[in-house]
Amino acid sequence: MAYKQEYQASIDDPTAFWGEKARALDWYRAPQTVLSTDENGIYRWFADGELNTCYLALDYHVANGRGDQLAVIYDSPVTDQQRKITYAELLDEVASCAGMLEDLGVGKGDRVVIYLPMIPEALISMLACARLGAVHSVVFGGFAPPELAVRLDDATPKVLLTASCGIEISRVIEYKPIVDKAIEMAAHKPDHCVVLQRPQARAEMQDGRDLDWREAVAAASPAACVPVKGTDPLYILYTSGTTGKPKGVVRENGGHAVAMKYSMSAIYDIEPGDVYWAASDVGWVVGHSYIVYGPLIHGCTTVLYEGKPIMTPDAGAFWRVIAEHGVKALFTAPTAFRAIKKEDPEAELAKQYDLSCLQTIFAAGERLDPPTYEWLAEKFRVPVLDHWWQTETGWAIAANMHGLEPMPVKSGSSTVPVPGFNVQILDEAGNRVAAGEQGFIAIELPLPPSCLATIWGDVERFKENYLETYPGYFTTGDGGYIDEDGYVFIMGRVDDVINVAGHRLSTGEMEEVVGKHPMVAECAVIGRSDELKGQMPMGLVVLKNAEGADPDTIVSELVAMVRQDIGAVAAFKEALIVARLPKTRSGKILRKTLRAMVDGDDYVVPSTIEDPAVLDEIKALL
């Protein structure tokens, strides 16, 4: 029982376990202190170790015979382009990009915001920051200027890196006007904005502040790796919480590198030299961990795909990439498979390709629903493995540990806790519940390496959000249960976070935007089940004075406001004008009941409801 032994060892003696795993990396100074607590009483990993994440991802491999191996395969159906980059070439490009950043005054601990589409420069600039010990913060391209502005103010970067445009299927999205607007809105102004001009759009440059990427890199000398401490931050990645202000999850160099290295073999069963493809975006945590850092630290070839599962050009796009590049493991969000299945239910397009290289399919970002699981398993005849994780952890909390010991799959379950994660199901009072009983999913402390130890600049918010609900535990925000065999079943968020097409969004944030409309008295945004995207946001809106108001006009104004303030990625397209919202006697909106009602599920009218008739009024409108 390799898994059981490994898991037990990780829980019984985390220090010995992770101390041993850390030896797989080439540290400048091996950590003597594996686990410690900091001045805030928070567990930290490898505090006195010294390393450089970019060195581990590039220089180490070039020095050890992988210089000529492909590090990155950039495959871009939207520009009809491909580029293959070896480890030696990538090292040169990253060192020059780091040199450019150094010339702009970026050093250890400084922040750099990266707002780029899925092009090699995204990955190159992340590694360049890591090389200097600078802290990158990548912002997903689908976010609108106000979202970028909030992140600029929170991360206070010296430099912002961007491109003239991104391409959504065939639509060219100009990035520079978004960036200019965000800088105008933000109180913090980066000293410089470096722009990669793409042929599909030409960015207007601002004298003094903006620099041309290619010219600036050409003028720079390569920079060397700067050693950092295990606990020094590698990146900040903002994620949605329950309020409007996104949380800056801080990832530390040491724990992250150890977890990345371990997971590539223990979870993904991948060897150095293999081709690995996470079809996600560098703007999300999956992209950070498994497009960039995991595969490169492990010496693999990573695929950087600038396209969609469908329409670029068809639902066979993923199968083409797999066959053409010899992908051994594919990792994506279930939504992508649902989109493919909808277009090509019999997977006819897959038959055009030789997929014999593909050994496993991994899914995460949202629950892998049983029909999608069954379709994949039947059509592709390889293990289809759901695994559960969050931006906060940076890697899987529950998974089928395929590289240790493949376990039988139970449809609807993300399998078992990953070594290091002491996953427990708690009731409201914090007591552990029996097997099979649903509750709040918490992880007993210490969390394993790579998990966040603070929110950027706000350790109190970190403690309050994650550590104070159940002392001794980290609360995940997810609900679910563990069955008699120890299998973990995730049933969804227990807070105001929703998952739309595998993208994590806050309904609270959308409510703040909707609430700004002058006609809106109050509103609730809930996640409604959606066959393709898993969930879609839906607004229920009470107007200040409904008389004479045209509901269709107001709804389209609300849709436009959310798109403008948060971005297209919020996919807020539906709102219903209602006379009243259902509330408890103390004034709390009954969102759970609303959600069940909108989905057509059975629901119990809560005893705390102020006026049950409100539910009937809304039901009549659906």
CB 534 within 8 A of CB 499: yes
- Least Å from the CB of residue 237 to ligand COA: 12
Query: Does residue 450 interact with ligand AMP by CB under 6 A?
Result: no
| Axis crossing angle, helix 507-514 with helix 551-565, rounded to the nearest 10 | 120
Applying CB under 6 A, among 173, 433, 521, 561 the residue interacting with ligand COA is 173
Cβ neighbours of 4 (radius 10 Å): 12
Of 31 and 448, the one with the shorter C-beta distance to ligand AMP is 448
Best CA proximity match to 199, nearest among 159, 167, 161, 160: 167
Query: Does residue 465 interact with ligand AMP by CB under 6 A?
Result: no
Query: Does residue 284 interact with ligand COA by CB under 6 A?
Result: yes
**What Å distances lie between residue 306 and 137, 215, 303, 321, 339, CA to CA?**
20, 24, 10, 11, 17
Query: Does residue 452 interact with ligand AMP by CB under 6 A?
Result: no
- Least Å from the CB of residue 489 to ligand AMP: 9
Query: Does residue 527 interact with ligand COA by CB under 6 A?
Result: no
* Amino acid at site 80: D
Of 27 and 284, the one with the shorter C-beta distance to ligand AMP is 284
Q: Which residues of 96-128 are buried (b: 16+ CB within 10 A; e: fewer)?
A: bbbbbbbbbebeeebbbbbbbbbbbbbbbbbbb
Strands 473-482 and 488-493: antiparallel
Query: Does residue 386 interact with ligand AMP by CB under 6 A?
Result: yes
Of 253 and 289, the one with the shorter C-beta distance to ligand COA is 289
Query: Does residue 504 interact with ligand AMP by CB under 6 A?
Result: yes
Applying CB under 6 A, among 490, 536, 590, 618 the residue interacting with ligand AMP is 490
CA 10, CA 35: separation in Å to the nearest integer? Answer: 13
Best CA proximity match to 228, nearest among 393, 38, 55, 455: 55
Which of the ranges 39-47, 123-131, 348-356, 389-397 carries the binding residues for ligand AMP, by CB under 6 A?
389-397
Query: What is the secondary structure of 366-403 as a DSSP string?
Result: S---HHHHHHHHHHH-S-EEE-EE-TTTSSEEEE--TT
Applying CB under 6 A, among 433, 542, 568, 589 the residue interacting with ligand COA is 568
Applying CB under 6 A, among 390, 400, 506, 593 the residue interacting with ligand AMP is 390
Which of the ranges 86-94, 227-235, 269-277, 382-390 carries the binding residues for ligand AMP, by CB under 6 A?
382-390
Query: Does residue 477 interact with ligand AMP by CB under 6 A?
Result: yes
CA 550, CA 30: separation in Å to the nearest integer? Answer: 67
> Which run of H or E residues covers position 336?
helix 334-343
Of ligand COA, ligand AMP, none, which one sits near residue 96, judging by CB under 5 to 8 A according to partner kind?
A: none
Residues that bind ligand COA (CB under 6 A): 141-142, 166, 168, 173, 280-281, 284, 286, 308-310, 332-333, 335-336, 339, 365, 501-503, 568-569, 571
Binding residues (CB under 6 A) for ligand AMP: these are 239, 284-285, 364-367, 386-391, 414, 477-478, 490, 493, 499, 504
